[in-house]
């Protein structure tokens, strides 16, 4: 294959059936290439992708506590990707216990008000419980904070 041919063709692996297909790069094949579909699957599934607006998730923010109203070292019930109970660190994040592949560890999720793509935590309830003296609101190497979160999770 010459260099000119390589620039005008692309090989894809169909995400629907796993078949390998070589396409000429042109407007006629743009949809199939964009969605990684072979010719057979393009006819079957292609219409599902045509003129489809992007899906934008807008969470219900009713009752969410604004970032400016959060208190450093305070325990909050939150809606987040990885946990439901977190301590506000005073820098826009909530530290909670996360389980990934069977391992528990402290992890920070950031307040929704900090914006995309990291603002995933929505504090919904102020528990009124503050960290005791001697426990810092920091993520790394903090077994006392982990124990505090375990104690208040029940």
Q: Could you give phi then psi for residue 152, rounded to 5 degrees?
A: -95, 0
Bigger pLDDT: 146 or 116?
146
User: In the chain, what percentage of residues exceed pLDDT 70?
Assistant: 81
Residue 22 DSSP SS3: strand
| Alpha-carbon gap, residue 121 to 61, rounded angstroms | 11
**Tens digits of per-residue pLDDT, 68-81?**
999 999 999 999 99
């Amino acid at each position: 294959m010459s260099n000119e041919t390589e620039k005008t063709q692309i090989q894809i692996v169909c995400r629907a059936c796993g078949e390998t297909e070589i396409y000429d790069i042109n407007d006629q094949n743009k949809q199939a290439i964009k969605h990684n579909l072979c010719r057979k699957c393009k006819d079957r599934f292609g219409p599902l992708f045509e003129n489809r607006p992007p899906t934008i998730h807008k969470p219900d923010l009713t009752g969410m506590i604004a970032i400016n109203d959060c208190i450093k070292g305070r325990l909050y019930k939150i809606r987040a990707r990885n946990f439901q109970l977190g301590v506000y660190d005073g820098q826009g994040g909530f530290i909670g216990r996360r389980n990934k592949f069977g391992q528990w560890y402290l992890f920070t999720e950031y307040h929704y008000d900090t914006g995309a793509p990291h603002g995933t935590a929505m504090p919904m309830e102020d528990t009124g419980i503050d960290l005791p003296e001697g426990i810092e609101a920091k993520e790394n190497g903090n077994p006392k904070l982990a124990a505090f979160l375990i104690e208040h999770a029940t």
